[in-house]
């Protein structure tokens, strides 16, 4: 939990609170530098704040010794006031079904193009190319693993498009998203090429700490995880819950994700899917998470258990560089295929 920092709980409160530059400044400083301000260029703590110019000066004696709160963040090189950035962040991470650039623009009094630019930077900030902390790394942690299919719903397609795009049955012509959810923690998603054993287990082992309690359905691709995890499965053909063993929390998240895609974007190109699923990440705590250094990012909160996640807002996780298109999402054979819901 972020100490001595006020985090707005409603949109009205967020807009009112962040109108004051000092409130924006105090919030971002506390989240970006929880152990004291350091130079983003050299890491030195020998810095002095010049209040008149709203910037710091590093005494380490190197070029570009001065830096501001925006340096090295998603706010850099932008003339948009921090008050509007903070309000936009609050809106995006608290929109359960997603939010369009038109709605952000109307709410903040900016053009749709400006809102689109802000939205993409904020969503990029939600991405994590490398995990700073593995799921299930604390004693007693429980992690749910499940996968879902997105796109390729034939009843929503024109007959000509259906004949061209639907080439098989079941999961054919759909994109696979793997989800890993720590109860009381966060959700992490990966757009994967298939549901084969090697593909899924590679992502699980890279994301979940060894020894954690791991729950999944009885898909054969998860066989063998019991060597590294306290792995238990539930057969959905018989029951959905067996004591603590279930994937209902993650199933609720899939419902929110697909409702967001269907209600806000309607259709998504396969190579844009990774951006859409990062937008829908939700942590599973009712309060703001502990601060991590902010390059540019936004953790958000959700209720634990099997209930549908609900969000509360904070600002502060390091953004990863944008992945190349080929890394970001495996595409269908026809790169222009649109995923229709």
Q: Is 52 exposed, middle or buried (0-12, 13-18, 19+ CB in 10 A)?
A: exposed
Residues in the chain: 341
Between CA 315 and CA 294 the distance in angstroms is: 8
Q: pTM for this structure?
A: 0.55
The CA distances from residue 321 to 49, 80, 125, 331, in Å, are: 29, 22, 9, 20
> Residues near 158 by Cβ (< 8 Å), separated by ≥ 6?
none
Q: Report which DSSP code applies to 221.
A: G
Instruction: Give Dmax (Cα) for the chain.
Output: 68
Q: pLDDT tens for the chain, 341 residues: list them.
A: 456 778 899 989 999 999 999 999 999 898 888 889 999 888 899 999 999 999 999 999 888 899 999 988 888 888 999 999 999 999 988 887 788 899 999 999 999 999 999 988 888 777 654 334 567 777 888 999 999 998 766 776 778 877 777 776 666 778 899 999 999 877 888 888 899 999 999 999 988 988 999 999 999 999 999 999 999 999 999 999 999 999 999 999 999 888 878 777 777 777 777 666 654 443 333 223 322 222 322 233 333 233 333 222 222 222 223 333 333 433 333 333 333 33
Region of residue 154 (phi > 0: left; psi between -120 and 50: alpha; otherwise: beta): alpha
> How far is the C-alpha of 33 from the C-alpha of 257, rounded, in Å?
32
Separation of alpha carbons 185 and 138, rounded Å: 11
- Strand boundaries in the chain, DSSP class E: 47-50, 55-58, 66-67, 142-150, 175-182, 187-192, 213-217, 230-234, 267-268, 339-340
Backbone angles phi, psi at 291, to 5 degrees: -70, 145
Which pLDDT score, from 0 to 100, does residue 227 have? 92
- Domain ranges in the chain are 142-340
């Amino acid at each position: 939990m972020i100490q001595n920092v006020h985090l707005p709980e409603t949109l009205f409160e967020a807009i009112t609170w962040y109108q004051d530059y000092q409130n924006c400044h105090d919030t971002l400083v506390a989240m970006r530098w929880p152990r004291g301000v350091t130079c983003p260029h050299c890491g030195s703590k020998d810095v002095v704040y010049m209040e008149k110019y709203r910037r710091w000066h590093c005494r380490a004696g190197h070029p570009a010794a001065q830096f501001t709160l925006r340096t090295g963040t998603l706010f850099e090189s932008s003339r948009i006031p921090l008050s509007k950035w903070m309000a936009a962040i609050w809106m995006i991470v608290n929109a359960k079904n997603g939010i369009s650039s038109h709605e952000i623009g109307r709410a903040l009094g900016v053009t749709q193009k400006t809102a689109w630019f802000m939205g993409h930077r904020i969503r990029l900030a939600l991405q994590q190319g490398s995990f700073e902390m593995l799921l299930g790394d604390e004693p007693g942690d429980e992690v749910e693993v499940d996968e879902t299919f997105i796109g390729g719903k034939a009843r929503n397609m024109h007959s000509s498009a259906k004949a061209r795009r639907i080439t098989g049955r079941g999961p054919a012509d759909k994109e696979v998203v793997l989800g890993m959810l720590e109860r009381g923690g966060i959700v992490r998603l990966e757009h994967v090429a298939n549901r084969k054993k090697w593909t899924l287990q590679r992502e699980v082992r890279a994301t979940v700490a060894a020894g954690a309690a791991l729950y999944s359905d009885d898909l054969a691709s998860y066989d063998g995880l019991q060597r590294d995890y306290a792995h238990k499965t539930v057969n959905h053909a018989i029951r959905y819950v067996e004591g603590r063993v279930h994937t209902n929390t993650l199933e609720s998240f899939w419902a929110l994700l697909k409702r967001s895609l269907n209600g806000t974007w309607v259709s998504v190109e396969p190579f844009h899917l990774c951006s859409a699923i990062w937008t829908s990440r939700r942590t599973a705590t009712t309060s703001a998470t502990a601060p991590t250094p902010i390059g540019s990012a936004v953790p958000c909160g959700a209720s634990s258990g099997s209930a549908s996640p609900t969000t509360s807002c904070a600002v502060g996780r390091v953004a990863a560089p944008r992945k190349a298109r080929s890394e970001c999402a495996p595409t269908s054979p026809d790169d222009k295929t649109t995923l229709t819901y």
